[in-house]
Structure 1
Amino acid sequence: MTLQGLSRFFGSDVVATRPLHGGDLSEVVRMDLSDGTRVAVKRGPLVGIEADMLRRMASAGAPVPRVLHQTGDLLCLEWLGETPASPAGWGALGTGLRTLHAARGDHYGWPCTYGFGRVTIRNTPMTDWPRFWAECRLLPFLPALPPAMARRVEALARALPERLPATPAPALLHGDLWIGNALFSGSSAYLIDPACYYGDAEVDLAMLDLFSTPTQAFHDAYGAGDPARAERRPIYQLFPALVHYRLFGASYQGLVARLVQAARI
């Protein structure tokens, strides 16, 4: 279906579209309708899975844009006006993420694979968390790494039973929570562009720490964590670093190396 074809669903003519900055999975446009409505429209091969993820997050009470319509490779979402982050917005992000993580699964992983651009993300359901992190988040990247670095990542994967909790609560994760996937709007904050699965809640916190510095308002709202979280942080941050290395090349090799070193392997 074309963007113009969406007018039949909304009962209003499409009068303007404007490309927006998108991610690696889909193109994003703002669509303006003749009745004054604005809609965020994403086009991509995995938007049906994203729609299911957003609905699952919404059912958990997490702040996400409403899914208005999904057909084929098009996903129509509630338009949210973006503003600079504020202390209240950071606090709302902490509260929203805590609410998301309160939702529980009965295993780690997700019912289907996902992907970031050309990088396939395995989500094989498992009940052993270190095994899931090794087999679905670290080992698939070995063929793309320089041999010496691949050996170190493989050694870390073997050591995970001693480095990660065996059965942390299987929290519903955003799965790709860098700061660009938190949309601040006034005193509110929304979680966008998810890559959901069930796992250790520290995964989302680690990624948020990787490319930003959450404020104290965020931490106060989210709540205190395990003091030992800092020891696991580089292990969890290594996954998004490996994804970036696959997507964007050698400019991220230094980040991968630093995280491997921080993981003490």
Structure 2
Amino acid sequence: MWKSVSQVLADQFGAYYNIKDKEKIHSGEVHEAWLINDGIQPVFVKLDEKSYRSMFRAEADQLQLLARTNTIPVPQVYGVGCSQNHSFLLLEALPLEPITAETMGEFGVKLAQLHAQHGSEKFGLDFDTWLGPVYQPNEWKLNWATFFAEQRIGWQLQICKEKGIELGDIQSIIDMAAGKLVKHKPKPSLLHGNLWIENCGLVKGKVTTYDPACYWGDRECDLAFTELFEPFPQEFYDNYNRTYPLDKGYQQRKPLYQLYYLINFSHRFKGHYITLTQKLLNYLMSEEE
């Protein structure tokens, strides 16, 4: 397997990559993570069974899509490959430092610049992605309310149901979500899609982000997730809003957008996430009565 990794890196760097050191960093929720080094260029390796190659390819494509915007920093992609039994994703190894309020303020400007690039008239993406280990459909839709209610809320609720987690009547919840967004007409923005503090790190003085779940959607979804568990420093939100002011009504839509991530966490981690999700869902549904 490591021979296959060396070959992909040789193609990337233009010289044979002789792995001198390799260290297993951790086994995450889905993949193993390794740090390898040839004495010159360290490389971060995500490793899993061969069947995960499509997931790695999608992650690489998303990172490259974000990189082409020249806005938020992301790790460089070195390649995707597979051996007889494994698939792998090769990324720039990031020397992470502690994040500061000042650097998060700068990141707020960069994220606003990303969201201000309106390169699509529809909501979705040319390929499907994953939110964590969970498949995320991105079929193109002209209507944002339909896209979010069906392909985000409805999709996650169906996964919950299949795993024995009943949060309520799925169609009623879909209708509630669509109803709350029916008058909201955002311009499609390219979203990171999985933007919370766990997916950010400081690299050479700049906040870098990784593990995306991209699509063209309402930029408020990215902002809502940043506020859900451990909000970013206030400097981030102040600079974002100065650069690209949020639309009226964001505070009212925010709980609905946060619901998507909570439903996702409910069937991934269960426990208190189900309680949090049910509480928020009950609140949103009660507003419709």
Tell me if TM exceeds 0.5: yes
Runs of 4+ more than 4 Å apart: 145-148
For the pair 1:93 / 2:140, whether they are aligned, the reply is no
Contact 1:13 1:33 in 2 (8 A): yes
Spell out the pairing of 1:73-84 with structure 2 (5 A cutoff). 73-84=87-98
Secondary structure of 1:203's match? helix
Specify the alignment match of 1:127 in structure 2: 142
* Aligned residues between the structures: 262
Distance in 2, Cα, partners of 1:117 & 1:136: 16
Structure 2 segments unaligned to the other structure (5+ residues): none
Contact 2:34 2:44 in 1 (8 A): yes
Distance in 1, Cα, partners of 2:233 & 2:132: 30
Distance in 2, Cα, partners of 1:22 & 1:96: 31
Specify the alignment match of 1:239 in structure 2: 260
For the pair 1:19 / 2:24, whether they are aligned, the reply is yes
Spell out the pairing of 1:1-265 with structure 2 (5 A cutoff). 2-8=1-7, 9=10, 10=13, 11-21=16-26, 23-34=28-39, 36-44=40-48, 45=52, 46-62=55-71, 63-72=73-82, 73-104=87-118, 105-116=120-131, 119-143=134-158, 144-145=160-161, 149-151=167-169, 154-164=171-181, 165-223=183-241, 224-265=245-286
Give CA-to-partner distance per residue, 1:188-247, whole Å, 9 cap, x none: 101201110010000011111112111121012212323421111111011111111111
Give CA-to-partner distance per residue, 1:170-203, whole Å, 9 cap, x none: 1000111121111222531012011100100000
Secondary structure of 1:41's match? strand
Q: Given the superposition, is the C-alpha separation of residues 94 and 22 from structure 1 closer, same or farther in structure 2, using an over 3 Å criterion?
A: farther
Tell me the TM-score normalized by structure 2: 0.82
Structure 1 segments unaligned to the other structure (5+ residues): none
Q: CA deviation at 1:39?
A: 1.0
Q: CA deviation at 1:42?
A: 1.6
Tell me the TM-score normalized by structure 1: 0.89
Q: CA RMSD in A?
A: 2.2
Secondary structure of 1:126's match? coil
Contact 2:165 2:267 in 1 (8 A): no
Q: CA deviation at 1:264?
A: 4.6
